[in-house]
Structure 1
Amino acid sequence: MRLSDLVYVKSGRILMTGSPRRIARIFLNEWAREGYKILAEGLPFVVDGEVFIGDPLKNPGFDAYLILNPLSRSREERERLYDWLEENRDKLILLYETKYVGDSITRYQIRNFIDYLLAYRRETLGAEVIRLYRIEGGRVVESREFIRRKGP
């Protein structure tokens, strides 16, 4: 499992945590370049490609979706989101969460509705750590860690 492979999946639910703006931007730009019709709840970063803004739960017919802060919602909103995620398994869905969730994903019910977790964390001394988890049936079946260090 490589990070670059995740950009080119044709369907799946990807949860990105820790505000990975640069990575999420790469995903959306690449999907737009591939010709996908994308709907976002909002854009916390600039995207070069064409992205529509609206409520993903009320607007079917798009190829890819960006949903913001799924873990920070009320219980009722999360339940509605989980139902929608279950119904839209054939779509590309990027769930973008500002708070960091890594190994603790097992404490969250959303683990049953996602295929991948990308946990981003900026470390001291200019390093960035990305942990990528593949999830099946709510369980982590594969994980990788990537570290990027910035030069002096």
Structure 2
Amino acid sequence: MSLAPSKRAGERAEADQIQRVDGFEAAPKNGDDGQELPYDIVCVRAVWPSTDLPFVGVLVLEQGSEVESKSCAVVINESQDRGRYYLRKNQHEALVKRGAFYLFSVRDPNTDEVIASKVVPATSVTDLNFSWIEAEGRATFGQITWTQIFDREEVESR
């Protein structure tokens, strides 16, 4: 079964970030207990903010920090709606409990090139304006637009 285009684009953005950020490595899919881990990236050495990778509310990602990668396109359809990040409630709660972080990326919709990224503590994401949606046959989820994480200038000026 092939992956949805948005899932493939997200995996490419994650791989790009792992290559670009010294100290990021792909996390194993499962922990020692065999359970799926709620994050994609682990810091194998300290990572500091930079012009290309600003942080919100934290000065450094220490070795061992756990990071969940989320990406979206600047716009998602012909009507040019802003891209949204899809958060799963169970995963988000696990990230908060672990003191983990999100790595939010915004992609060019035509090339999937990452044009802006930012690291945000999972606890800070809890305070954003969004609701959890319970849909039959799906895990409870929420959506946030990239404008809740980035100033427009951070994305549109690149």
TM-score relative to the length of structure 1: 0.34
- Higher normalized helix content (fraction of residues): 1
- For CA contacts below 8 A with separation 6 or more, give which structure has more relative contact order: 1
- Higher normalized strand content (fraction of residues): 1
TM-score relative to the length of structure 2: 0.33
